[in-house]
Chain A
Amino acid sequence: MAEPQPSPESTQTKPLLELEGVWKSFGGLVVIDNLDLAVNENEIVSVIGPNGAGKTTLFNLITGIYPPDSGAIRLDGESLVGLPPHKIARRGAARTFQTLRLFLNMTVIENVMASQYGQTKVGIARAMLRTPGMRREEREIRARAEEKLAFFGERLMGYRWDQPAYSLSYANRRRLEIARAMATEPRILLLDEPAAGMNPSETHEITELIGKLRDDGGYTILVIEHDMHVVEGISDRVVALDHGVKIAEGTFEAVATNPRVVEAYLGTSAAVTK
């Protein structure tokens, strides 16, 4: 499904998301080591690497949960470094969490409505008076939330809107996380292991969904994934990390057969015998 896209070198456009020389260490342990990364508009880039390679830290740096020790992070040419997470979300970078951090006691549709806070304006004064403008905005918020949920077919529709999020199945929670991230109207979606814990047919579905997000939704996607079938199915480009260092970048085939990547995953001896 994922058609090979022109490689980044050949496109003349400026990348949408750009990391330059980013460093991050926790108490002396370097987690991200001089990382350069560029994601172009409308591209799907996968980040792979063994556990502890710094993949989730990369997402935390982009979304502002931690600041980088040094280096530049730019979204559409504007620096994100030092901004609080909610402002970064307003600039257009939204993410999902590997460990699923839904607002469990809110309903499904409220989860998606809540994350539109950044693009809506009505303050408490107008809310207390319930002005026509406030009501119009509420209707728009709800319509947008329904539209985002409709993206997942019947999965999150109808009676499910008013169920609390904790009543959803695991796979549906992952979908709701994506819907919630979409509702911030991002330009780039950061998906942290969207297929983790899913069975093969759900995994297949997620693979198709990510393609659809790019093709129909128009999002640029940076995804962390362990499942190589998913990575193969979706990626225009694959970046491999190990100990915070970029060890390979390119098409899936090129990266998957790169000896350094194999070594990172399987250890030195395996690489030698190969």
Chain B
Amino acid sequence: MHLLLFNIIDQIRSLGWGGAFELLRNGIVLGSLYSLIALGYTMIYGILKLLNFAHGDVYMVGAFLGFGVLTAFGGALNPGIGLVPLIIIMFAVAMLGSGVLGVGIERFAYRPLRNAPRIAPLIAALGVSFFLENSAQLMTNGFQYNYDAFQLGGKNGNFGPLFDPVFTVAGNPVTVVQVLVVGSAVTLMAALIFLVSRTRLGKAMRATAFDQEAASMMGIDTDRVISSTFFIASVLAGAAGVMYGLYIGTTFYFMGFLAGLKAFTAAVVGGIGSIVGAMVAGVLVGLIESYAIGYVGGQWSDIVVFGILILFMIVRPTGLFGAQAIQKV
């Protein structure tokens, strides 16, 4: 244990301020992906009180849909259309496809279980997650597929503009794709906040989350609201999948599991049901992971992340932004 601590201090010293900033940058970019996924968890949990284990796999499907579009247009090395329209189409297809998938999952796996014992939808969610993961394994033969984002937009296999630096802080470049990821994540979240707080649908969603029965008595079509929630949540996850593909580059059938797990914790740490909380905590989880990789070492990073998260959940299960619930008797 002592040794480990010394190692960490050594690592912090040797990386210096530049290294610290690099980790901060990586953490924020990774964290905005977690935030997008966590928003889906928090919305679905808020409205159905269901831990949707399959949500991480929707994100995985989104990444593969983006890859599919890329391949359909000739692949990263030789795309048939310009870079900007290509990325827009990738996002559009992945978001729409994931959204439809999410609605389908809700309709056929969760809706029949509305009045079932609490444990039933959880187990069904486990089943959906497992089904999606292994179906993806079957479809992709278990291989990793690469977006080849470095070459994307470049001519004849040359490097494209995605990894060009936009500006430099303490000797660390911030690249186009990092700006793109954080920028589009922020845009999507702003759109979500607007939707939830200002529109009719948002109002209906909040009412349904508060009391489904009462909402349906007030004339709200709760089934439709729940479907819409799943659609929006899955759209965000699909977008996160494409961002991951562009930023990290590889898609893999198993990538949804761990990401989903961490994003769910982000949702819990942020206080389940709280949209702002999910955003902040998503970035927080990304930062923890980034610093754990940098200072403690890659092989320990998951243990560190999960250890911190378990501690947090035990100490403050209502999360940072959640209200203390009063049990009604």
Residues of A within 8 A of B (CB): 26, 56, 60, 65, 97, 99
Which residues of the partner chain B approach A60 to less than 8 Å between Cβ atoms? 329
Whether A65 lies near B329 (C-beta < 8 A) is yes
| CA–CA, A56 and B326, complex, Å | 14
Which residues of the partner chain A approach B327 to less than 8 Å between Cβ atoms? 65
Instruction: Name the interface residues of B292-329: CB closer than 8 Å to any CB of A.
Output: 326-327, 329
Which residues of the partner chain A approach B326 to less than 8 Å between Cβ atoms? 26
| CA–CA, A65 and B326, complex, Å | 11
List 7 A-B residue pairs with CB atoms under 8 Å apart, sorted by A's residue number. Answer: A26-B326, A56-B329, A60-B329, A65-B327, A65-B329, A97-B329, A99-B329
Q: How far is the CB of B185 from chain A (nearest CB, A)?
A: 34
| CA–CA, A30 and B31, complex, Å | 42
| CA–CA, A65 and B327, complex, Å | 9
Count of A-B residue pairs with CB < 8 Å: 7
Which residues of the partner chain B approach A65 to less than 8 Å between Cβ atoms? 327, 329
| CA–CA, A97 and B329, complex, Å | 8
Which residues of the partner chain B approach A26 to less than 8 Å between Cβ atoms? 326
Residues of B within 8 A of A (CB): 326-327, 329
Which residues of the partner chain A approach B329 to less than 8 Å between Cβ atoms? 56, 60, 65, 97, 99
| CA–CA, A4 and B116, complex, Å | 50
| CA–CA, A99 and B328, complex, Å | 10
Which residues of the partner chain B approach A99 to less than 8 Å between Cβ atoms? 329
Which residues of the partner chain B approach A56 to less than 8 Å between Cβ atoms? 329
Q: How far is the CB of B120 from chain A (nearest CB, A)?
A: 14
Q: How far is the CB of B119 from chain A (nearest CB, A)?
A: 13
| CA–CA, A145 and B327, complex, Å | 30
| CA–CA, A26 and B326, complex, Å | 8
Q: How far is the CB of A183 from chain B (nearest CB, A)?
A: 20
Which 7 pairs from chain A and chain B are nearest by CB?
A60-B329, A65-B329, A26-B326, A56-B329, A97-B329, A65-B327, A99-B329
Closest residue of chain B to A57, judged by CB? B329
Closest residue of chain A to B324, judged by CB? A27
| CA–CA, A97 and B328, complex, Å | 11
Q: How far is the CB of A253 from chain B (nearest CB, A)?
A: 32
| CA–CA, A9 and B329, complex, Å | 33
| CA–CA, A26 and B327, complex, Å | 11
Closest residue of chain A to B117, judged by CB? A105
Closest residue of chain B to A60, judged by CB? B329
| CA–CA, A26 and B329, complex, Å | 14
| CA–CA, A60 and B326, complex, Å | 12
Closest residue of chain A to B327, judged by CB? A65
Closest residue of chain B to A56, judged by CB? B329
Closest residue of chain A to B326, judged by CB? A26
| CA–CA, A99 and B327, complex, Å | 13
Q: How far is the CB of A248 from chain B (nearest CB, A)?
A: 26
| CA–CA, A56 and B329, complex, Å | 8
| CA–CA, A220 and B326, complex, Å | 30
Q: How far is the CB of A191 from chain B (nearest CB, A)?
A: 14
Which residues of the partner chain B approach A97 to less than 8 Å between Cβ atoms? 329
Closest residue of chain B to A99, judged by CB? B329
Q: How far is the CB of A179 from chain B (nearest CB, A)?
A: 20
Q: How far is the CB of A238 from chain B (nearest CB, A)?
A: 23
Closest residue of chain B to A105, judged by CB? B117
| CA–CA, A26 and B324, complex, Å | 11
| CA–CA, A97 and B326, complex, Å | 17
Q: How far is the CB of A171 from chain B (nearest CB, A)?
A: 22
Q: How far is the CB of A105 from chain B (nearest CB, A)?
A: 9
